Amino acid sequence: MSNIDPATLEIVRNSLHSAAEEMGETLLRTAYSSVIREARDCSTALFGPDGDLIAQAEHIPMHLGSMPYALAQNFEVAASLSEDEILVFNDPYHGGQHIVDIIAFHPVFVDGERIGFAGSIAHHIDMGGQGAASLGTGVSTTYGEGFRFPPLVLDTTSREFDNFVRTLASNVRASEYVIGDFNAQLSANRRGVERLSGIATKYGVETYNEVLSELDSYAERFMRTRIAALEDRTATGSETVEIEAPGDDPVDTTVRVEVTVKGDELTVDFTGTADQFPGYINSPIASTHSAAYFAVLASLGGAELPISAGVYRPISIEAPSGTLVNPTEPAATRARMKTCCRIYDAVLRALADLSPEHVPASAFNSTTPIVFAKQFADHTEVFMDLPGGGWGAYPGGDGASATTNPLQNEMNIPIEAIEQDHEWLRVADYSLVPDSGGIGEYRGGLGVRRAFEIASGPASGTGYAGRLENGAWGVNGGGTGMTGDTSVTRSDGEQSPLGTVWDTPLDTGDVVSVTMGGGGGYGPHENRAVARVAEDVASGFVSFEQAIAAYDVESEVLTDALADLLGDGFEAYAAYHGWPTV
């Protein structure tokens, strides 16, 4: 049993969390690119002396689940760092994710004793390679994806470090943004070093280490208790990654998983998953761990989940080498999120069988980056957006609308920020998509439509999408969410689909439009009260026609419910929307 009193334990725990959040705010406030500054595509965390996670900022689940793996894979090197040295890398085959995510760790010392590490990971707007934002759609190996570097030990006070920064800058587009964001990462880490050393100094290293041990033990006990409450058995899930295969022959892109509960331990086994793909959608093992862990922790842990390495210990992940979820070098990984979203959903499908009361309907769960680039005489501008779809409904509530998928947890990039940073780009449409959420006792959230017009060409457009064929699934009788869509409308009015992967030249007046579908519904639709359906219609979330057809509501009944809801304003609403009034 711990000798630390509960008050001290709680104070130190909150201090660690506050320190990690402060690191995140430092990174966000000093970043250059909108993908970090506005979308918050970055994460920060703190680790103990042995590399175990002790605190993290509430940023990107895909990052946070992989950072402990990244440090563990390189711990022997990290443990040798001196006070002025850092460990930095982006190699997906040495503990990283995809090459646009740079990971950096700083050691933390008190009186010459290493007491932990401060770490950050950030998505950089470009890392070179064939396409802008390193999104080369025809790339099949990581050699063509951009500037890849293995774990490097760099003395931040040395000429060697300056040379690395110059080399990085010369290999990327929009180098001012990339270097600015990299410096923001280092600033965040330095803040973490200051805060962590301050906490350990305040309470004493011996007490600090004892607190870390107790927090870790509690986290493990918490997770084991949650798993032990489930029935001992195995459930399966599968999801297919939507992508056009090269050549004429079909290629299997199915993620298959078995989730087994035995006592207080849980195993996630991807045996049977398709072989690695001859393209850029492969998920490196760190990303697979992150997606699978998050599905389990978010479902079973809930809001009370403690953040410490202990929560991972009762969960085992098995991913055969050479597959879509654990590729071998040099398979490309830039669009690994297409597969990670399907990993997450496949595990959730299995968990929905094991514990349906803990699992919501599927969110739209598709990463859909939209990248535009324009070459100027002396520089290149690159912009990337990641619009959100609808989240799935859950027992007791409708799904959230216009929200990025749970693995990303990114923020909306405001129209004003886009057009201020890139005068050659205009947002032509940004709106909710009515009828996109799956029906049910609780309705799925709505997706969004985001359209960009090239105000001054030429430029290029690149991106990828998912769920164009298979909408977000419902749970417990809930309906499926609407699928997505991608298209380009040329300045002469000609429109054509873009599909799941696109790379197209653009000129003045061309418009790229991406529609994100809605989340799945929860529970039988006949259990949704007519008054709730009327609220959806009045809010513009559901059309009058779909309310009648999908919810089996008679026109007269819905009209009466709308009249009761809107009162004196009903006639004006009905005339505007074309609803019947009798």
Q: For residue 411, name the pLDDT band (cuts at 50, 70, 90).
A: confident
Tell me what pLDDT residue 121 has. Answer: 95
Q: Are strands 85-89 and 265-269 parallel, antiparallel or unpaired?
A: unpaired
* Nearest to 422, CA basis, from 383, 462, 461: 383
Does residue 463 have a pLDDT over 80? yes
Give the closest residue to 317 by CA, choosing from 298, 342, 334, 294: 294
- Per DSSP, helices labelled H in 47-141 are 61-64, 67-73, 75-78
What is the tens place of the pLDDT at every residue in 175-229? 999 999 999 999 999 999 999 999 999 999 999 999 999 999 999 999 999 999 9
Give me the torsion for CA of 48, 52, 57, 61, rounded to 10°.
Answer: 170
In the block, residue with structure tokens 């080369």: 136
Across 325-349, average pLDDT: 95
Instruction: Give the mean pLDDT of 298-302.
Output: 88
- The pLDDT score that the predictor gives to residue 1 is 52
pLDDT in tens, 139-185: 889 999 999 999 999 999 999 999 999 999 999 999 999 999 999 99
Q: Return the pLDDT at 247.
A: 66
> How far is C-alpha 447 from the chain's CA centre?
16
Which residues, in sequence order, are CB contacts of 14 under 8 Å at separation 6+? none
What is the pLDDT at residue 204? 95
- The pLDDT score that the predictor gives to residue 402 is 92
Is the pLDDT score of 246 beyond 80? Answer: no
Give Cα 473 to chain centroid, integer Å: 19
**Domain ranges for the chain:** 6-218, 360-528, 529-577
The continuous run of DSSP H or E covering 165 comes out as helix 159-170
pLDDT digits (tens, 9 = 90+) for 72-107: 999 999 999 999 999 999 999 999 989 999 999 999
Are the CB atoms for 553 and 534 separated by under 8 Å? Answer: no
Dig out the tokens for 415 from the structure.
């129209």
Residue 569 phi, psi dihedral angles, 5° rounding: -85, -5
- Element spanning 295, H or E: helix 285-296
| pLDDT on residue 141 | 92
The closest alpha carbon to 448, from 464, 435, 466, 430, belongs to 430
Please state, in angstroms and rounded to a whole number, the distance separating the CA atoms of residues 296 and 85.
35
Buried b (16+ CB within 10 A) or exposed e, 434-473: bbbbbbbbbbbbbbbbbbbbbeeeebbbbbbbbbbebbbb
Give Cα separations from 236 to 256, 345, 348, 406, 474 (angstroms): 8, 11, 10, 21, 16
CA-wise closest residue to 389 among 496, 484, 509, 281: 484
* Residues 307/53, Cβ–Cβ less than 8 Å: yes
Task: Look at the alpha carbons of 544, 550, 554, 558 in this order and tell me if their dihedral is positive or negative.
Answer: negative
Tell me the C-alpha distance between 295 and 292, whole Å: 5
The pTM (predicted TM-score) of the whole model is 0.93
What average pLDDT is seen over the chain?
93
Asked whether residue 274 carries a pLDDT value surpassing 90, the answer given is yes
At 540, list the tokens: 């513009």
| Cβ(97)–Cβ(286) below 8 Å | yes
d(CA 154, CA 152): 6
Contact (CB, 8 A) for 449 and 430: yes
pLDDT tier at 383, thresholds 50, 70, 90: very high
pLDDT band at 357 (very low <50, low <70, confident <90, very high): confident
Average pLDDT over residues 262-289: 96
Contact 10, 18 (CB under 8 A): no
